[in-house]
Amino acid sequence: MTKSSSRKSSIPKGNKLPNNVGVIPFYTKEAFPNLEKNSSDEEDGEVKKADTTSIPVKIDRAGGESKTNLTKFEVPRIRHFDNNVENVLKGFNLIDTKVMNHLVGISREEMIHRRMNYIEMICFDNAQQEYEEAIKYAKKETLAYYSTELIAAQNVDNRDCSMFELTDAEQAELVSNNTAFLAWINKAADLIDPNEIAYMGYVSGAKTRLMKWKIFDSHFRNHLNVIIFGKKYHKAREEQKEYMQYGMTKPFGAKVAQCFRRVDMLANLMNYFPPTCNRDEMPEIEAWEMAMYGNEVSDMMNRKMKFNLLPTKFQNTLEEDTEEDWRVMVYPKFVALVQQCEAKDERERVEMAKNREKLKASALKRKDDGGEGLDRSSKSKNQSHKRFKREHSKSGKGEASFCALCKNAGAPKWLYKNHNTADCNKADEYKRKLSGGAASQYNAKRDYKKELRKAEQMLKKFKKETRELKSMMKKKRKKSADDMSIDSASSVDTDTSY
């Protein structure tokens, strides 16, 4: 299938990522532990357990907070926010899905407050300090926003709002004192002055208090996101979505079901990426509302992401060999078809492996049997191996073969190493020649060497005569060809007919 996109060229395939620390990769050792043979997180066959924090959760949402109605949920702790996108967002997601959803009958403001407290519970080391900095930043920005809105409100109809404004000293006190800040931001709705509500442009005291909390929450998130996603926080959401559409690839050996679960998990974390905004700006409250409670990855986009990460062979099958379009078929059928492709591919790979083993075994057998079907180089190596085998062959007792008669008669090494003295074909002749003293042995060696030189001379003479014969035959063939060409040329010259 051809993927057409003008932007995907900047998204590399496989495990490589764009130059942005804010993108969560598809492949990690933690996500695919079965593909890591020598994982550094394994010791003595056991995987290290993550450091967690126990958060009490109600069993029955509508029940009380007695011990019988409470259980504990383990959430992995966060050591640092920078360059740790996946672990941080997983922690946020677990708090929202496993802890916050058990809270019932509390206000939206209390939900925001408790969520911040739960985040603080899972922070330690550098993350604890970064959390406190984010809280201080959010306080300052919330108080600055409140003062700005009051000034804007009093300028509308020239009314005096100075009674509601906060001095610099009061703002500094609220920033440093958590109790005072909570008292200010949680001011009861019925105690908020109607004039303040009117000047701020809100409908009621409850709406005014809720808006303060929303402002506080948005600034808290914005400050953390600059640390989590780095300088490109403003487009981290778009880059993550683009990577998931065009940059993911199914790792070899990973099961389809495992890859699809990974896609679903990354799609869930997309809602925790900061809303897209202009560079050097921060997302507004409305953008955060849409980002947190919207559906960033639709069902159709989710299926396309899963299709694009499949091998080309699987994609071609889904595109060409199915009666129903994979885009519109029900999801269980789509998964079943992909798993059928996976099973077929595994069977073919097993069959190919068996065939390769058969070919290897056949090649080894040919080498041992004499080298049939081998090229010249392989045959030469095979002959050398056989000669070495003969020279170093051993008897049934485990002793190397050796003929003393051939050795004393001056035979070469390969000859007196390929048999024993008892099996020598020239035993009687050599015994007779070597039966005397040193002179007899010397004469035997001299005679053997003389015969060997004579044989070598005869071989050289034979090779020389063979070369001369080949040369004569070559000259004769060339002369015959020249005579034929002269005869054909003469016939053409004498032909004068028209």
Q: Please state, in angstroms and rounded to a whole number, the distance separating the CA atoms of residues 79 and 88.
A: 9
DSSP 116-184: HHHHHHTB-THHHHHHHHHHHHHHHHHHHHHHHHHHHHHHHHT---TTT---HHHHHHHHH-HHHHHHH
Q: Please state, in angstroms and rounded to a whole number, the distance separating the CA atoms of residues 28 and 248.
A: 12
β-pair type (42-43, 46-47): antiparallel
Give yes or no for residue 169 having a pLDDT over 80: yes
Q: What is the mean pLDDT of residues 145-158?
A: 63
Q: CB atoms < 10 A from the CB of 97, how many?
A: 10
Res. 428 pLDDT band, cuts 50 70 90: confident
| Nearest alpha carbon to residue 73 among 31, 46, 102 | 102
pLDDT of residue 45: 40
Q: Please state, in angstroms and rounded to a whole number, the distance separating the CA atoms of residues 247 and 286.
A: 30
pLDDT of residue 367: 64
pLDDT of residue 343: 95
Res. 462 pLDDT band, cuts 50 70 90: confident
Q: CB atoms < 10 A from the CB of 88, how many?
A: 26
User: Across 320-415, where does the E strand assignment appear?
Assistant: none
Give yes or no for residue 9 having a pLDDT over 50: no
pLDDT of residue 346: 94
pLDDT of residue 400: 72
Q: What is the mean pLDDT of residues 263-281?
A: 91
Query: At 182, phi and psi to the nearest 5?
Result: -65, -35
pLDDT of residue 374: 55
| Nearest alpha carbon to residue 244 among 273, 215, 210, 216 | 273
- H helices of 230-283, where? 236-246, 256-269
Q: In a 3-state reduction of DSSP, which class is residue 29?
A: coil
pLDDT of residue 184: 86
SS3 annotation, 399-411: CECCCHHHHHCCC
* Cα diameter, the chain: 142
End-to-end CA distance of the chain: 68
Residue found by looking up tokens 């900061």 in the block: 274
The tokens describing 156, both together, are: 């509308």
pLDDT of residue 436: 63
Q: Please state, in angstroms and rounded to a whole number, the distance separating the CA atoms of residues 11 and 322.
A: 30
More confident residue, 206 or 212: 212
Q: The pTM is what?
A: 0.66
Q: What is the mean pLDDT of the chain?
A: 79
Q: Please state, in angstroms and rounded to a whole number, the distance separating the CA atoms of residues 498 and 496.
A: 7
Q: Please state, in angstroms and rounded to a whole number, the distance separating the CA atoms of residues 310 and 256.
A: 8
pLDDT of residue 134: 96
Q: Which of 197-211, 292-306, 333-347 has the highest mean pLDDT?
A: 333-347
Res. 495 pLDDT band, cuts 50 70 90: very low
Q: How do residues 61-111 score in pLDDT, each as one tens digit?
A: 777 777 788 888 899 999 999 989 999 999 999 999 888 887 877 888 899
Look up residue 50 and give its DSSP letter: P
pLDDT of residue 296: 78
| Nearest alpha carbon to residue 268 among 97, 105, 136 | 97
Strand partners, 78: 123
Q: Please state, in angstroms and rounded to a whole number, the distance separating the CA atoms of residues 139 and 220.
A: 8
Any idea what the Cα angle at residue 388 is, between residues 383 and 394, rounded to 5°? Answer: 130
Any idea what the Cα angle at residue 347 is, between residues 341 and 350, rounded to 5°? Answer: 140
pLDDT of residue 44: 42
pLDDT of residue 177: 92
